[in-house]
């Protein structure tokens, strides 16, 4: 396929960053843009709005206030015949004309890609005739705690990165040329040249290899990239085709053998010992949380996971009837405090064993609430001390099944062990959608009927999470 002449293509900052991540998808985006077009997802729309919110507050920084020495431009575009870059903030010295460029990021730290981003902006600005002085990255201050109105100067951290960015300029110039040259080529489709960011989910690979097997070596997520590429170069894509003599860890080999025989492997006695060690009452607990760059509630830091909902199924004694407790904030209460007090009340009959899925998450939230509410610290410390991660039964290979496909999430385990339970029939079927839709219902001016539908969907979703753990426990107990 002939490449468009360079004069007819202008390399944008977004395309440049895409080239750094995956040259083949960059090539596709230019030559076959319709193949790269995707409908806007709920997550993408949410992250974009989050970025707009961060930018809105960054504009309030005192260093961008009107003054006689500088002019401040937001979203200023620099372009040449073949390059284009939009800078978040450009500060121009009125006396010298020298500009400083600021990049605003919805992040709590400066990352490597931020240097590449600014280096491209600086090259483009200089080629357009500007004299660029310093470059900066504006990130969120992870220690900031909201208390009333947002203080922009406290919310953000401004880091000068001029030295690092300038050291990248020569390399950026070369990479820009490489990007244009790549567009003139016909990229060779090779599985072993997958990019680490996308693996076999790369659209370029999928276009050229439409018949990839369902079970691939990427199920071995702990397999190092060099070994994975080695297998792909040998034509081994299906996990079941890995030779018996190929060197793998014991856990990896167990997973491969399982895929080959297509039968589960169950250590029933070891599982029984785990279950026998648990004390009643058994509490099956799940949290739903919300994290945002700009804290939306008092007492919350940027990106802090704030609990807005829990579901708790409880079995008080062997053979006892199961009970259910839950709480869902509607955004109009003292959020975390209300959740914490409700949970303590729900567990007031005693804390035997608290069963969760992926304990570091729930324990982390408990630690945060203990720090926020010292009078409840003893309660949350006890909950953490008596928490057992039900996922360990599967992550420690006591129960492995080929249909788990090397994963241990409840979304992988539940359909295999408890096929009668189904997330897909729910109005909200995953944690990310729960987070975003709760935010919409709690913080946006939605019609009452829409808000109530979201809240009801959230209650059903979180309830299914803990019910799934109960039913998985029942399966394990019957072993």
Q: Which alpha helices (H) appear in 184-325, and where do they start and end?
A: 203-208, 225-233, 250-261, 268-276
Residue-wise pLDDT tens digits, 227-284: 999 999 999 999 999 999 999 998 889 889 989 998 999 999 999 999 999 999 999 9
**What is the pairing mode between strands 353-356 and 282-290?**
parallel
The whole-angstrom separation of Cα 137 and Cα 69 is 22
In this prediction, residues 358-386 reach a mean pLDDT of: 96
Q: Which stretch of DSSP H or E encloses residue 83?
A: strand 83-93
Residue-wise pLDDT tens digits, 117-149: 999 999 999 999 999 999 999 999 999 999 999
Enter the tokens of residue 177: 């040329």
Distances (CA, A) of 290 to 281, 306, 388, 437: 29, 5, 23, 10
Q: Which stretch of DSSP H or E encloses residue 315?
A: strand 306-315
Q: Is residue 401 classed exposed, middle or buried when 0-12, 13-18 and 19+ CB atoms within 10 A define those classes?
A: middle
Residue 38: name the closest of 273, 201, 265, 254 by CA: 201
> Using 50, 70 and 90 to split pLDDT, how confident is the model at 332?
confident
Q: Are 435 and 288 in contact (CB under 8 A)?
A: yes
Q: Give the pLDDT of residue 2.
A: 36
Helix, strand, or coil (residue 186): coil
Distances (CA, A) of 237 to 25, 207, 219, 220: 21, 16, 11, 12
Q: Are 392 and 442 in contact (CB under 8 A)?
A: no
Q: Distance from first CA to last CA of the chain, Å, rounded? A: 60
> Using 50, 70 and 90 to split pLDDT, how confident is the model at 334?
low
User: What CATH architecture applies to the domain 270-477?
Assistant: 2-Layer Sandwich (3.30)
Sequence ranges of the domains in the chain: 6-183, 191-264, 270-477
Distances (CA, A) of 397 to 157, 221, 276: 44, 15, 18
**What is the pairing mode between strands 11-12 and 83-93?**
parallel
Between CA 45 and CA 52, with CA 49 as vertex, the angle to 5 degrees is 145
Asked: is 6-183 a CATH 3.90.320.10 domain? The reply is yes
Q: Is the peptide bond before 218 cis (omega within 30 degrees of 0)?
A: no
In this prediction, residues 328-355 reach a mean pLDDT of: 91
């Amino acid at each position: 396929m002939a490449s468009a002449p360079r004069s007819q293509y202008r390399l944008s900052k977004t395309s440049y960053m895409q080239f750094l991540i995956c040259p083949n998808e960059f090539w596709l985006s230019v030559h076959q843009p319709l193949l790269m077009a995707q409908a806007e997802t709920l997550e993408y729309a949410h992250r974009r709005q989050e970025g707009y919110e961060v930018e809105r507050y960054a504009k309030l920084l005192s260093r961008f206030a009107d003054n006689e020495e500088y002019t401040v431009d937001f979203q200023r575009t620099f372009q040449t015949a073949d390059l284009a870059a939009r800078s978040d903030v450009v500060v121009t010295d009125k006396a010298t004309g020298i500009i400083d460029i600021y990049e605003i990021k919805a992040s709590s730290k400066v990352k490597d890609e931020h240097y590449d981003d600014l280096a491209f902006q600086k090259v483009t600005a200089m080629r357009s005739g500007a004299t660029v002085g310093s470059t900066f990255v504006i990130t969120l201050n992870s220690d900031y705690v909201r208390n009333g109105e947002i203080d922009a100067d406290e919310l953000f951290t401004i880091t000068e990165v001029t030295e690092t960015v300038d050291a990248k300029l020569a390399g950026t110039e070369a990479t820009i040329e490489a990007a244009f040259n790549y567009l003139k080529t016909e990229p060779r489709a090779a599985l072993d040249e997958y990019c680490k960011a996308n693996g076999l989910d790369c659209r370029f690979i999928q276009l050229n290899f439409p018949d990839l097997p369902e079970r691939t070596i990427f199920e071995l997520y702990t397999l190092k990239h060099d070994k994975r590429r080695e297998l792909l170069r040998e034509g081994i894509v299906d996990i079941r085709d890995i030779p018996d003599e190929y060197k793998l860890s014991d856990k990896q080999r167990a997973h491969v053998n399982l895929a080959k025989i297509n039968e589960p492997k169950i250590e029933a006695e070891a599982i029984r010992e785990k279950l026998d060690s648990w004390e009643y009452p058994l509490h099956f607990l799940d949290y739903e949380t919300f994290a945002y760059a700009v804290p939306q509630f008092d007492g919350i830091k940027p990106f802090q996971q704030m609990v807005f909902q829990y579901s708790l199924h409880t079995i008080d004694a062997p053979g006892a009837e199961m009970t259910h407790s839950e709480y869902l904030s509607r955004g109009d209460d003292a959020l975390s405090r209300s959740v914490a007090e409700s949970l303590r009340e729900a567990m007031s009959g005693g804390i035997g064993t608290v069963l969760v899925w992926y304990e570091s998450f729930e324990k982390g939230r408990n630690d945060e609430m203990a720090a926020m509410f010292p009078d409840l610290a003893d309660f949350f410390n006890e909950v953490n001390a008596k928490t057992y991660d039900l996922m360990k039964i599967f992550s420690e290979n006591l129960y492995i099944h080929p249909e788990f496909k090397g994963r241990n999430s409840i979304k992988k385990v539940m359909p295999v062990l408890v096929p009668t339970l189904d997330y897909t029939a729910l109005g909200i079927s995953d944690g990310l959608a729960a987070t975003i839709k709760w935010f919409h219902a709690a913080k946006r001016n939605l019609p009452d009927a829409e808000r109530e539908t979201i809240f009801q969907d959230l209650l059903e979703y979180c309830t299914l999470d803990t019910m799934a753990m109960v039913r998985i426990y029942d399966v394990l107990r019957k072993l």
